Every structure is written in structure tokens, then in C-alpha cells.
Amino acid sequence: MSGRIAGPRERTVGKGLRSRLGDASGLGLIEVITAMVILSIGVLALAGLTFQVGTQNRLSTWQTDQSMAAQQVMESLTRGGYAAATSRTDTVTVGTRTYVVSALVSTPANRVKQVQLTVQATRGGRGRTYTGRIYENRQLPAAP
């Protein structure tokens, strides 16, 4: 030795261990466990996402059915005309679900009736409220 201090590139840490094991290559137990943990986290995330998509899909279907039930009652009130539009409760079936639709009719202005529809599933669940208006038909003046 010439009294010189070895630089970082000249150090040979672990040389004895490498010579005992030879040139071992491949994955160790720690690497395999780490890969399995990362993979399982990804699979669990995908499972949770799949569950969430299914839940949102069911909720969307229920909301669409409720909107269709409210639309049927609103069309029925509109077909009857301005004078016949009164508060009532109807039972409407959309697909395989049955809904109770309550129509509350008020007259906030002259020649306008406001309809507030509350749709509730017969098996419980969250109800939704919709609002619409029915206008009195006005006769147009005769053409000159």
C-alpha cells in the first residue's frame, strides 16, 4: 500500500460474500414479496372500482325509472288540460319497479299551474322531487 486512501470507485464492499455465493442472479424472497404486495394492491383497487361502477349503474337506473314515472304523470296532467290539473297520487310501474307519484298542483300566477311531483319507490328508498308547469291555452286572435 502506498498510503493512499481508496476512492469510492475503488472500494470493494461485499467482495467476500460474492465470492462465496458465486455470481448468483435472480429474484430474492424480498423482491418476490414486494411484487406480490404491489400486485395485490392493484387487484384490490380494481375490485373496488368494479363494485363502485356497479353501484353507480344501479343508482342511475333507479333515477331514470323515477324520471320516467314522473314524466308519465306530468303528461297525464297535461293531456287533461289546464282546468283538469289537480293534486293527486298515482301508482306507476316502470319496468319491474312500482312507484308512488304524488302531484301537488298550485297556481303561483294567472294562467299558470305549477306541479311538484314526488316519486317514491313502493319498496322504500330515496324519493325524488320534480317540478313542472302547465300553461292555460290561449286563443290566438283571428287573422285579418
Among 32-46, 84-98, 123-137, the minimum mean pLDDT is found in 123-137
Average pLDDT over residues 112-141: 82
Q: Which of 100, 97, 89 is nearest to 65 (CA)?
A: 97
CB 68 within 8 A of CB 94: yes
More confident residue, 15 or 86: 86
Asked if residue 131 belongs to a domain, the reply is yes
Q: b/e per residue, 80-97, with b = 16+ CB within 10 A?
A: eeeeebeeeeeebebeeb
Report the chain's mean pLDDT, rounded to a whole number: 82
Asked if residue 111 belongs to a domain, the reply is yes
CB 117 within 8 A of CB 62: no
Distance CA 94, CA 68 (A): 7
What would the grid cell of residue 116 be?
311538484
Asked if residue 88 belongs to a domain, the reply is yes
Asked if residue 14 belongs to a domain, the reply is no
Beta strand 88-94 with 112-121 is: unpaired
Range of the domain at 131: 29-135
Q: Provide the 8-state DSSP code for 16.
A: H
Q: Is the pLDDT of residue 11 over 60?
A: no
Average pLDDT over residues 45-49: 95
Q: Band of the pLDDT at 137, cuts 50, 70, 90? A: confident
Asked if residue 104 belongs to a domain, the reply is yes
- Helix (H) / strand (E) element for 106: namely strand 97-109
Asked if residue 40 belongs to a domain, the reply is yes
Residue 95 φ then ψ, to 5°? 65, -120
CB 47 within 8 A of CB 73: no
- Total of domains in the chain: 1
Q: Band of the pLDDT at 34, cuts 50, 70, 90? A: very high
Does the predicted TM-score (pTM) go above 0.75? Answer: no
Question: Which spans in the chain are helix H?
Answer: 15-21, 29-80
